[in-house]
Amino acid sequence: MPLLSADPAAFPAEPPADTHDPTVTAAHDWAAFSALDEMTNHWARPGWSDGSRAYYWMLTFPDDQRLAALADHCQQELAHLGLDPVSADGLHITLARVGRPGVATPGQLDSLAREAEALLPCAFSIRAMPLAGSRGAIRLSLGPWEPLLRLHHVLAKAGSGVGLPPNKPTSAFRPHLSLAYNNLQRPAAPVVEAVSMLRTLPVVELSVSAVQLVELRRDGRTYRWDVRKDVPLG
């Protein structure tokens, strides 16, 4: 599998020293977030206006009550910041962008799901917590990164095999799970301080037994999706 590499478009730009140890990846996330001077508007993204759609590989957790409760608690504690919270049924881990409707054909999506299913690793679990953030979001650190990197790698391989290569290589992948999106340009320090008070909450264990190929759409200041393929892990 390719090694992670520095990428100025990723956050954190530099990869962590160890992708197997959750404490290392979490500390690395926090160091990058706490060093920010300014946060940016997540929704001010060129080419991704209200109503935009695209196919993505994602991990979704619609029935995970512990994750939903953790997200709700953090969102309530940060409500004074005026962020856009992610609803319980919208919590997800973005893996890879596949393409846009009208470019990626239904036949290609069918082939992609078959190729992926033949390559997918065994089911695994990861830890979500502690809380950190990025330039445009508040998000949970995840760990270990290693199984997520392996998953991204095989999805990229499957996509390349059917003419739908991902928009980012595995070397630039930085796993995370967003709880709220920042909706204006602002100094980072007050947000970092508020998040720092929530970093000792209990860890939530997430079970990953399938990956979802979804049609994602931006709906105002939130994301919605329809699952096109639910592909079980090996």
pLDDT in tens, the chain (234 residues): 557 999 999 999 999 999 999 999 999 999 999 999 999 999 998 888 888 999 999 999 999 999 999 999 999 999 999 999 999 999 999 999 999 998 999 999 999 999 999 999 999 999 999 999 999 999 999 999 999 999 999 999 999 999 998 888 999 999 999 999 999 999 999 999 999 999 999 999 999 999 999 999 999 999 999 999 999 998
Report which residue type is found at 96.
A
Domain range annotation of the chain: 22-42+51-232
User: 104 forms bridges with which residues in the sheet?
Assistant: 101
Mind listing the pLDDT tens digit for each residue in 90-136? 999 999 999 999 899 999 999 999 999 999 999 999 999 999 999 99
Class of domain 22-42+51-232: alpha beta
pTM exceeds 0.75 for this model: yes
C-alpha to C-alpha distances, 25 to 11, 77, 82, 145, 226, nearest whole angstrom: 12, 24, 28, 8, 31
Please give the structure tokens belonging to residue 221.
């200041």
With contact defined as beta carbons under 8 Å apart, do 22 and 144 qualify? yes
